[in-house]
Chains A and B, each alone.
Chain A
Amino acid sequence: MARVVVDVMPKPEILDPQGQAVANALPRLGFAGVTAVRQGKHFELEVADDVDDATLAKIAESFLANPVIEDWTVRRVEA
């Protein structure tokens, strides 16, 4: 078994109102110096060893992310 991490982020040109809300809240909570926040999704997949990179890319692109509005990355990590 391998652990695979898929990160999904809104594309830079897509408005991210959730990230903006977090960024706006930080000064109110007394945290200075954070100029921007973007919010995305982080998936951790436990994957059998025979699942190849092309399949993982297909999972990310066709299901976990919507490429119209989101970018994605896939990486294998130490479990």
Chain B
Amino acid sequence: MRVGVITFPGTLDDVDAQRAVRYADGEAVPLWHGDHDLKGVDAVIVPGGFSYGDYLRCGAIARFAPVMQEVIEVANKGMPVLGICNGFQILAEAHLLPGALVRNHKLHFVCRDQWLKVENNSTAWTTRYDKGAEILVPLKSGEGGYQADEETLKELEGESRVAFRYVGGNPNGSRNDIAGITNARGNVVGLMPHPEHAIDALTGPTDDGLGMFLSLLDTLVKA
């Protein structure tokens, strides 16, 4: 399986995301923000960082990058796409996922290991988890507060599209303790915490995050 990992100016976590793909026995394919080219990949990861310096709004400029036009097209056709942290913000700005991410409610940048509950284990990226399982992965963001109007929240909850929820305290003021969501089809997932930093107990708090990349492998093998 070939998994593309996008690098924008200001991306930080592309190397860890590539490493996570390799840990799951996938081939990591670097993708460049300025290319209209997905290099024939089977899935795409939009990693964390501060694309284009977070100017204007987080993800607002990255969403218009040439590579994102290709990502939007294939995501709408069903290709698995994962947005982590800044990647989640970019997918929200690109309207691949509903809602928006805003400044943390207490203004502080939050950097800690965070417990999450897996609420939906039928997306392209979460099948390796038990529904209701709790996982511990790093969270590091200043603008991770998930916001959406009441109607959108009702739709997300009603259709089980909340993929991950914060447990043990809401770190950033996200509505309904939402840490990550999926689109209606289940191929696009975005979350603020960083599963790619938790794939090996030697270098992260746990290896709980590896399940997302192994889930993708299962999804691609089945497809």
Seen from chain A, the residues whose Cβ lies within 8 Å of a Cβ on chain B are 10, 13-15, 17-18, 21, 63-64, 66, 68-69
B: residues with CB less than 8 A from A are 56-57, 60, 64, 92-93, 98-100, 102-107, 145, 147-149, 173
A66 to chain B, nearest CB (A): 6
- By a CB distance below 8 angstroms, the chain B residues around A14 are 102, 147
Apart from A15-B105, A17-B104: 18 A-B pairs, beta carbons within 8 A:
A13-B149, A14-B102, A15-B102, A17-B105, A17-B106, A17-B107, A18-B107, A63-B60, A63-B64, A64-B56, A66-B60, A68-B98, A68-B99, A68-B100, A68-B148, A69-B100, A69-B102, A69-B147
Contact A15 B100 (CB under 8 A): no
Bound Cα distance from A18 to B93, whole angstroms:
21
Are B103's CB and A18's CB within 8 A? yes
23 inter-chain pairs at a CB distance below 8 angstroms, sorted by A residue, are A13-B149, A14-B102, A14-B147, A15-B105, A15-B145, A15-B147, A17-B104, A17-B105, A17-B106, A18-B103, A21-B107, A63-B56, A63-B60, A64-B56, A66-B57, A66-B93, A68-B98, A68-B99, A68-B100, A68-B147, A68-B148, A69-B100, A69-B102
Which residues of A sit under 8 angstroms from B105, Cβ to Cβ? 15, 17
| Given contacts A66-B57, A66-B93, A17 and B100 within 8 Å (CB-CB) | no
* Cβ-neighbour of B100 out of A13, A21, A64, A66 (below 8 A): A66
Chain B residues contacting A68 (CB-CB under 8 Å) are 92, 98-100, 147-149
Please measure, in the bound complex, the distance between the C-alpha atom of A68 and the C-alpha atom of B145, giving whole angstroms: 13
